[in-house]
Structure 1
Amino acid sequence: MSAMDLQVLRAFRAVAEGLTVTEAAADARVTQPALSRALHRLEEEIGAELLQRVGRVLRPTPAGRVFKEYVDAALDAYDRGRRAVAEVVDPAAGVVSLAFLHTLGTWLVPRLVTGFREEFPQARFELHQHEENGLIQHLLEATADLVITSGDPGHPLITWRRLLVEPLWLAVPRGHRLARRSRVRLAEVAQEPFILLKPGYGLRSVTETLCRQAGFTPRVGFEGEEVHTLRGLVAAGLGVSLIPSSPDAAGTSGFPIRYLEITDVHGARDIGIARLTGRTLPPVARRFLDHALRSAAVPAADPG
C-alpha cells in the first residue's frame, strides 16, 4: 500500500466522519479538486458509490459505511505496525496509549505519567478520558494499550491488577446536621438527596452498591459528569455525595464542605490497571505498566 493510497483512505475516513472535502484536503495538504478526483477513483476501484451529497456535505452511503469499517481496521493496523517498528528501533521513545477514568485525571494519572517520563523522557502519551464502559471498549477495540479504572471489569479477555484502594468519604454541606461530626453511618443519610455521577461511571455504581449494603437505595438529587461538579453541588446545599479521597480533594479546604468517614460499610473503591490478556504490549507500554504497579500505591490524603 503506497503513501498515496493511505492518504486517500485517511481522507475518505475523514469525510465519512463529517469533514468537508475542503477540510480533508487541507489536512492532507492537497488541493480540493485533486482529493475529489482521488475519492472518485477510489469509488471506481471499489465498484460502488461510497459518498453521496446530502445538502452541502457528503455522507457515506450504505456501501460506504460498510467499507469504512474495513478502512478503519486497515489504518489502525498500519499505524500500530509503524508504532511497533519504531519501538523496536528505540523502545524507550514509543507511545503509551492510556485511557482512564475522569476522576483520576486530576491526581493519579498526572503523577504516574510525570514519574515515568522522568525515567523515560522520550516516551510520549496518547491519553483518553472516559467512563467505565468506554474504557472497556478502548481495550477491546485496541485503541488503548492500558486503562486505569475502578474495580475488576470481570471480562474474560481482560487482565486487571489492583493499583491502590481509594477511600470514599461522605461529603455534606458545612451547614448540614451532621457537619460537626467526623464519622457517620451511611444509613443516616438514607432519606437525603444524593449528588451522583451519571450511569456508566464507576463511582456511580460503587455509590449505589454501598447504599444497598447500608440498607437503602440512594434518592437521586442531581447527576453530573465530574467529581468537581459533585463537590460544587454539595457545597451549594443540594444534597450529599460519596467523594473519592484523592489528593486533589485536599485543595478544597476553603469549600463549604465537610468530609465524614463512613463506619457502617467499607467506603472505598479499588483502582486498577487493565490490559487485553492475549495482546502483547509494546515495550514502552509494558514499562509503564510495571512503573504504575510499583509507584501507584501511596497513602491517599484525608480531604479534611
Structure 2
Amino acid sequence: MDDMDLHVLRLFQEVARGATVTDTAARARLTQPALSRALHRIEREAGAALFQRAGRALRLTPAGHAFAAHVDAILERYDEGLRAVAEAVDPEAGVIPLAFLHTFGTWLVPPVVSSFRAAHPRTRFELRQHGEEGLVRELLDGTADLVLTSGDPGDPLISWVRLLEEPLLLAVPPRHRLARRKQARLADVAEEEFIVLRPGYALRETTVRLCAQAGFTPRIGFEGEEVETLRGLVTAGLGVALLPLPHTATFPPEPAQPATPHLRVTDVSSARDIGLAQLAGRDLPPATARFREHVLATAPRTLPA
C-alpha cells in the first residue's frame, strides 16, 4: 500500500469496528461519496472485497477481518511510536490509556488519577469503562496500557497484581426479616431470589461461587449491568444481593452507608480482589510505568466495611 496514508486507514478502522459510513464521514469532515471512494481504493489495493452491505451498515468479509487485524497492529505501533517520541522530548507530558471496571469510576479511579496528576500535571489520561470481558479486550487490543479489574483475568498473556480486598455484604430489602441484623449467614437466604450482574461480570461469578461454598445454587430473579442498579432493586424489595458498599472518592476510600441494610456475611469469606493488569512481558511507556508504581504504592490492602 505505497500510497495509502494513515488517515485513510483510521477511517477504514472506524467502519470496520461498526461505525456507519455517514457518521464516519461526518466526524472526518468528508462527504460520504469521498469516504466511499477511499474505502473502495483500499479494496482495490488489497485485491479483495473487504466489506459487504447488511442493510444500511457495512460488515467485514472474511478477507476484511484478516486485513483489519493488520491495520489495527499498524496503527497501534504507529501511535506507540508517537507516544515514545513525545515522552522522550518531554517525559512529564505522556498519555496514559487506562481502562477500569464501571464501579471503580465513582471512588477508586478519581483519587488515584488526581493524586498522580498533582505530581505530574502535564500527564494526560485516556479513560475507558467496561465489564471484565471488555477490560481484557482493551489490553489484548493494545488500546489500554493498564486496567483496574476485579479478580485475576486468568489469561496467560496478562500479568495481574492484587491491590486490595473489597468486602462484599449481603444487601437485603429494608423490610426483610434480616434487616435489623448486623450480620447473617449467606445460607440464611438460600431460598430467596438473588439480584446479580449479567454474565461476563466477575461479581456475578463471585456471587455464584460464594453461594456454592455456602451450600446452595442462587435462584436468580433479576440481572443488571451496574452495581447501583442492583442496589436499587434490592431496596425495592425484589431480592437480595452480594454487593460492595459505595465508597467516597478519597484514597484510601471510606465506605458510605446506604439506606438499604448491608449485613456482614459470617459463613463464607465474602470479598473480592481488586487488582491492576497489563500485558505480560511488555515494557510500559515511562508515564504509564510511573502511574503503575503510584497505584501500587498508595493502594490500601483492605477496604473497611
Q: Which runs of 5+ in 1 are unaligned?
A: none
Candidates 280, 284, 296, aligned match of 1:281: 284
Measure how far apart 1:258 and its partner are: 0.6
SS of 2:221's equivalent? strand
Measure how far apart 1:199 and its partner are: 1.6
Provide the residue aligned with 2:268 in structure 1.
Answer: 265
Q: What is the CA–CA distance in structure 1 between the aligned matches of 2:92 and 2:138, rounded to whole Å?
A: 23
Offset from partner CA, 1:92-115 (integer Å, 9 cap, x none): 211111111122121111121111
Provide the residue aligned with 1:160 in structure 2.
Answer: 160
Identity of aligned residues (%): 62
Does the CA-based 8 Å contact 2:245-2:257 persist in structure 1?
Answer: no
Provide the residue aligned with 1:86 in structure 2.
Answer: 86
Question: Structure 1 residues 2 and 115 mapped into 2: Cα distance closer, same or farther (>3 Å)?
Answer: farther
Code of the residue aligned with 1:194 in structure 2: it is: F
Deviates more, 1:124-133 or 1:162-171: 124-133
Code of the residue aligned with 2:216 in structure 1: it is: F
Question: Structure 1 residues 9 and 267 mapped into 2: Cα distance closer, same or farther (>3 Å)?
Answer: same
Does the CA-based 8 Å contact 1:151-1:271 persist in structure 2?
Answer: yes
Question: Structure 1 residues 182 and 76 mapped into 2: Cα distance closer, same or farther (>3 Å)?
Answer: same
| 2:132 is aligned with 1:132 | yes
Q: What is the CA–CA distance in structure 1 between the aligned matches of 2:202 and 2:147, rounded to whole Å?
A: 13
Deviates more, 1:282-291 or 1:29-38: 29-38
Does the CA-based 8 Å contact 2:163-2:301 persist in structure 1?
Answer: no
| 2:301 is aligned with 1:291 | no
Q: What is the CA–CA distance in structure 2 between the aligned matches of 1:198 and 1:33, rounded to whole Å?
A: 41
Measure how far apart 1:273 and its partner are: 0.6
SS of 2:268's equivalent? coil
Q: Aligned-residue CA RMSD in angstroms?
A: 2.4
Q: What is the CA–CA distance in structure 1 between the aligned matches of 2:8 and 2:265, rounded to whole Å?
A: 58
Measure how far apart 1:79 and its partner are: 1.4
Q: What is the CA–CA distance in structure 2 between the aligned matches of 1:200 and 1:15, rounded to whole Å?
A: 26
What is the count of residue pairs matched by the alignment?
Answer: 300
SS of 1:137's equivalent? helix
SS of 1:73's equivalent? helix
Code of the residue aligned with 2:6 in structure 1: it is: L
Q: What is the CA–CA distance in structure 1 between the aligned matches of 2:95 and 2:284, rounded to whole Å?
A: 11
Q: Which runs of 5+ in 2 are unaligned?
A: 249-253
Does the CA-based 8 Å contact 1:246-1:301 persist in structure 2?
Answer: no
Matching of residues 1-304 of structure 1 within 5 Å: 5-51=5-51, 58-248=58-248, 250-251=255-256, 253=258, 255=259, 257-297=260-300, 300-302=303-305
Measure how far apart 1:44 and its partner are: 2.9
Measure how far apart 1:208 and its partner are: 1.3
SS of 1:194's equivalent? strand
